[in-house]
Amino acid sequence: MDNSYPPPVLEKMRIALEFIRLVKESTVASQFSAEELADFLQPLEHDSTPEDDPDLMFSLQAFIGFLGSTQGDYERMHHYIHQRDPNIKMLSYYQVERRA
């Protein structure tokens, strides 16, 4: 940890600082854009199920339909759908992958 600050007293703060240090030092984090990392790390907006959320159902169906394809294929399709209708709420690749 950074020695210019006193050591954290609270356990949660210590864990958070350790996480930040590890992310800064990781080489994996440098392989993704800031937007991709933020998207991956942000919590899901809701805890709905496909039965009561048509947007989640659509995202899962698209994700399943693209199994065996690349992440780039899914992201291009995601982009084209948003180009066609920006009001369609479709989960990103990382969000739908975490829900699948």
pLDDT (tens digit per residue) in 15-25: 777 887 777 77
pLDDT (tens digit per residue) in 40-59: 666 555 566 666 788 888 88
Asked whether 95 and 44 are in contact (CB, 8 A), the reply is yes
The rounded distance, in Å, linking the Cα atoms of 25 and 81 is 36
Q: How far is CA 86 from the centre of its chain?
A: 19
The rounded distance, in Å, linking the Cα atoms of 7 and 13 is 10
Asked whether 66 and 77 are in contact (CB, 8 A), the reply is yes
What is the structure's pLDDT at 53?
80
What is the structure's pLDDT at 4?
67
Interior/surface letters 60-71, b for 16+ CB within 10 angstroms, e for the rest: bebbeebeeeee
Q: E-strand spans in the chain? A: none
- Asked if pLDDT for residue 29 goes beyond 60, the answer is no
The residue type found at 69 is S
What is the structure's pLDDT at 48?
63
Global pTM reads: 0.50
What is the structure's pLDDT at 84?
92
Percent of the chain with pLDDT over 70: 71
Residue ranges per structural domain of the chain: 9-42, 45-100
Q: Which residue has the higher pLDDT, 34 or 97?
A: 97
